[in-house]
Amino acid sequence: TSPYTPYPILSTSIFTRLFASGASGDSHIGSFPGSLKAFVDADSGASITRAQLAHLALSLAYGLKHNPHTSRFASRGSTVLIYSPNSLAWPVVLFGSVAAGLRCTLANSAYTSHELAFQYTDSGAKLVFTAEDGLSVVRAMLHESGIAKEEAEKRIIVLGSDLRWAGGPSAPRSPASEYLLKMEDLLDKGKLAEEEKFEGSNAHETVYICYSSGTTGKPKGVETSHQNITTLLDIVSSAFPPLTGGSIMLGILPFYHIYGIAKLVHYPFTQGCPVVIQTKFEPVKFCSVIQRFRVTHSLVVPPVLVILARHEGPSTNTIYRVSESLFSGAAPLGQTLVKQVKDRLLAKRGGRGNLGITQGYGLTETSPTTHLLTVEEADRKMGSIGVLLPNLEARLVEDDEGKIDAAEGQPGELWIRGKTVMKGYLNNPTATKNSITPDGWFKTGDVAIRDNEGYYYIVDRRKELIKYKGFQVPPAELEYVLLSHPDIADAAVIGLQSEKEATELPRAYVVHAHPDKVKTAQAKAEFARSVVKWMESKVARHKFLRGGVAVIGIIPKSAAGKILRRDLRELAKQEAAR
Ligand code: 4UU
């Protein structure tokens, strides 16, 4: 059990939890003044306050429910898809949909039309919110999903670059279409009637559907409930520094990933902390945004820390003055890297002050954070993910069935139980049954140890999942794509660890359909290169085969036909040693 005092579990909706005016009066949204900034766009400087966000969300909810094109798909429990990089419109769209009682499925903004089509169909989404830049992909996706052109246009709502609705700069209208709606077209049309308001009388309703492959197979929809999130917001505050009194958070991690949704779109809002939105990571810009907006807390992934440790950009020393703490997550964080970043950043500050570099651990399926290392303990427990957050239980299990607990200090698979564990995988009772035991334990697929003070360390990953810079790369998905290549008879994908980039790189082993065509080393290398290139036309950037492709005679498999990934990892080691 967790050493922290548990919180009472709420039965309110996310909308009520975030936007209900607090005891302090009508001018408050939650416990903070409505005039306080909620989100700021780093590029344009445009911003929205807490009160504006509340108003915009309710206004959008009304628009969704009353516009003749959208109202068909805006009854309670319908699903909308959001396909956009971080932007000021993003939280408006999310909370507007939530206020309307809709479920939101959140897609990676780098997805190809094919990847998007899978999520659209699988989640049962009908309406699509897309950034202007994603419009052609969305149109292609709806076409691939078998939706006629005229109907498709009625399902798209564009988040334009015109930010006048947020007091920002105007921009020319996107490519005209007879039917195409913009988000602004749905705003300021009226007020929701009492019976249309979604108060979340059932906190167990699904609200977000992110995709995760879990321990095995292709991506699956993770059903996250209102209560999963409201619980998370409380328990995280036990180990996160208070964000009051002028704290500013940098919103660089993608909002569509559970890490971003929880820790950037929801959590800072509950603390009255503005989030500065930056869409794309560029080292110099990252530092200058931190400087310009006086950012105090930044959430990152390990590869960002690598850049901070090594990048020689002209303004890199600006960060050292203002960011008090850096929080890493979504992938293993090495102690050496933490030391390098600290030494460098503190040296630039002339050794003054302190810089906390710490990390959290979690999964899409646990909404997400289960462990968080406090800034106070960051140095003493470097490398640890911290202690278990309140209201949660954890086990370290030795066998697959969970009959044997690992001995004190010994590694075991981490199992988690508590109110932040997802409802299950959408329309997939088998996968749900395989990942959550009848008594509620969720199997993470990660191997951890726990020291005698209750601090956990992730030491291995037992599941097949690969992570590229914090993004999930499910091997099964890439294998499926590879098998559609006319010259590939069989394929398997594993992750190679790159210390230099602090990430894994997906590497494929393929069997040529006509082995006589790849007899020489040169022919093999040429074919391998062509496969790397071919994949780049098929999948989003984070799934590119950056670890390369090797042509082999046969994919090692168990008697049951399961790919023996351990053998391939061994093979990769031998290749590297050669
Ligand atoms: C070693 O990546 C996430 C969630 C990340 C997150 C959430 C809350 C980080 C900090 C935080 O406070 O979710 P998924 O579903 O994309 O990937 C989950 C997997 C885990 O099973 C584990 O293998 O990502 C890996 N992982 C980590 N591994 C996540 N965090 C860590 C970590 N160390 N700190």
Which amino acid, residue 20? A
Find, among 70, 48, 61, the residue nearest to 93 by Cα.
Answer: 61
**DSSP per-residue letters across 158-191:** EE-S--GGGT----PPPS--SS-EEGGGGSSS--
Residue nearest to atom 13 of ligand 1 (CA): 363
Please give the number of the atom of ligand 1 that sits closest to the Cα of 371.
12
**β-strands 297-300, 249-251 pairing:** parallel
C-alpha torsion sign, points 37, 43, 45, 46: negative
Distances (CA, A) of 475 to 37, 160, 468, 472, 491: 41, 35, 12, 9, 10
Query: At which residue do the structure tokens 């999942």 appear?
Result: 465
Q: Is the pLDDT of residue 176 over 60?
A: no
Q: 369: which 2 tokens? A: 């954070």
**519-547: pLDDT as tens digits:** 999 999 999 999 999 999 999 999 999 99
Q: How confident is the model at residue 7 (pLDDT cuts 50, 70, 90)?
A: very high
**Average pLDDT over the chain, rounded to whole?**
93
Residue nearest to atom 5 of ligand 1 (CA): 330
Angle at Cα 209 formed by Cα 207 and Cα 210, nearest 5°? 135
Q: How confident is the model at residue 344 (pLDDT cuts 50, 70, 90)?
A: confident
Distance of CA 443 to the CA centre of its chain: 19
Gap between the Cα atoms of 97 and 112, Å rounded = 24
pLDDT at 313: 65
DSSP class of residue 245 equals S
C-alpha torsion sign, points 154, 157, 160, 162: positive
Q: Is the pLDDT of residue 381 over 80?
A: yes
Question: Which residues on adjacent β-strands are paired with residue 229?
Answer: none
Q: How confident is the model at residue 172 (pLDDT cuts 50, 70, 90)?
A: confident
Query: At which residue do the structure tokens 């500013």 appear?
Result: 248
Average pLDDT over residues 288-312: 91
Determine the residue of 363, 382, 415, 456 to mutate for testing ligand 1's pocket, defined as the one with the most ligand atoms within 8 A of the Cβ atom.
363
pLDDT at 346: 79
Query: What's the half-sphere exposure (Cβ side, CA atoms, 13 Å) at 299?
Result: 31
* Residue 462 CA, ligand 1 centroid: distance in Å: 14
Q: How confident is the model at residue 24 (pLDDT cuts 50, 70, 90)?
A: low
Distances (CA, A) of 337 to 342, 504, 537: 9, 15, 34
Which amino acid, residue 135? L
Q: What is the 3-state secondary structure (H, E, C) of 23-34?
A: CCCCCEEECEEC
* Residue 520 CA, ligand 1 centroid: distance in Å: 42
Which amino acid, residue 109? S
Q: Is the ipTM of this complex over 0.95?
A: yes
pTM above 0.90, yes or no: yes
Q: Is the pLDDT of residue 158 over 60?
A: yes
Pair 517, 524: CB distance under 8 Å: no
pLDDT at 202: 86
Q: Is the pLDDT of residue 357 over 70?
A: yes
* Residue 134 CA, ligand 1 centroid: distance in Å: 27
Q: Is the pLDDT of residue 314 over 60?
A: no
Residue 520: count other Cβ atoms within 10 Å of its Cβ. 9
pLDDT at 2: 97
Helix (H) or strand (E) holding 224: strand 220-225
More confident residue, 162 or 66: 66
* Residue 406 CA, ligand 1 centroid: distance in Å: 22
Site residues for ligand 1, CB cut-off 6 Å = 212, 258-259, 263, 329-333, 359-364, 368-369, 372, 385, 444-446, 458, 461, 467, 470, 472
**Region of poorest pLDDT, from 235-239, 335-339, 410-414:** 335-339
pLDDT at 171: 81
* Residue 472 CA, ligand 1 centroid: distance in Å: 10
Q: How confident is the model at residue 490 (pLDDT cuts 50, 70, 90)?
A: very high
Residue nearest to atom 33 of ligand 1 (CA): 332
Residue nearest to atom 17 of ligand 1 (CA): 363
Contacts of 545 (CB under 8 A, 6+ apart): 478, 493, 506, 507, 508, 531, 532, 535
Which amino acid, residue 470? G
pLDDT at 283: 87
Find, among 161, 183, 171, the residue nearest to 57 by Cα.
Answer: 183
Pair 567, 556: CB distance under 8 Å: yes
Q: Is the pLDDT of residue 13 over 90?
A: yes
More confident residue, 355 or 427: 427
Which amino acid, residue 292? R
* Residue 507 CA, ligand 1 centroid: distance in Å: 21
Query: At which residue do the structure tokens 């930056």 appear?
Result: 278
* Residue 359 CA, ligand 1 centroid: distance in Å: 10
* Residue 366 CA, ligand 1 centroid: distance in Å: 10
pLDDT at 23: 56
Phi first, then psi, for residue 447 (nearest 5°) are -105, 130
* Residue 485 CA, ligand 1 centroid: distance in Å: 32
**453-476: pLDDT as tens digits:** 999 999 999 999 999 999 999 999
Residue nearest to atom 2 of ligand 1 (CA): 330
Which amino acid, residue 272? G
Q: How confident is the model at residue 200 (pLDDT cuts 50, 70, 90)?
A: low
What 3-state class would DSSP assign to 489? strand
Q: Is the pLDDT of residue 449 over 80?
A: yes
What share of the chain has pLDDT > 90, as a percent?
Answer: 82
Pair 514, 527: CB distance under 8 Å: no
Q: How confident is the model at residue 400 (pLDDT cuts 50, 70, 90)?
A: confident
Average pLDDT over residues 314-337: 79
Gap between the Cα atoms of 208 and 263, Å rounded = 15
Q: Is the pLDDT of residue 408 over 80?
A: yes
Helix (H) or strand (E) holding 115: helix 113-123
**Region of poorest pLDDT, from 43-47, 83-87, 147-151, 310-314:** 310-314
Residue nearest to atom 14 of ligand 1 (CA): 363
Find, among 252, 334, 327, 271, the residue nearest to 42 by Cα.
Answer: 252
Phi first, then psi, for residue 135 (nearest 5°) are -60, -45
Q: Is the pLDDT of residue 310 over 90?
A: no
What share of the chain has pLDDT > 70, as a percent?
Answer: 95
Number of H helices, E strands in the chain: 17, 28
Q: Is the pLDDT of residue 316 over 60?
A: no
Please give the number of the atom of ligand 1 that sits closest to the Cα of 372.
12
* Residue 212 CA, ligand 1 centroid: distance in Å: 11
What 3-state class would DSSP assign to 549? strand
Please give the number of the atom of ligand 1 that sits closest to the Cα of 369.
8
Determine the residue of 252, 467, 472, 473 to mutate for testing ligand 1's pocket, defined as the one with the most ligand atoms within 8 A of the Cβ atom.
467
Q: Is the pLDDT of residue 25 over 70?
A: no
Distances (CA, A) of 73 to 66, 76, 125, 128, 296: 10, 9, 9, 10, 41
Q: How confident is the model at residue 388 (pLDDT cuts 50, 70, 90)?
A: very high
Q: Is the pLDDT of residue 565 over 80?
A: yes
